[in-house]
Amino acid sequence: MNAKLQAVTLNNDKVARKRKDARPTVPDPLRNFDCLPGEAFVRLPVVLMLLGVSRSTVWRWCESGALPAPKKLGSRICVWRVRDLREVLKAGSL
User: What pLDDT score was predicted for residue 8?
Assistant: 46
Interval 18-50: pLDDT, tens? 555 566 677 788 888 899 999 999 999 999 999
User: What pLDDT score was predicted for residue 44?
Assistant: 95
What lies within 8 Å, CB to CB, of 81 at 6+ separation is 38, 39, 40, 41, 68, 71
Cα angle value 70/31/68 (rounded, 5°) = 15
* Helix, strand, or coil (residue 2): coil
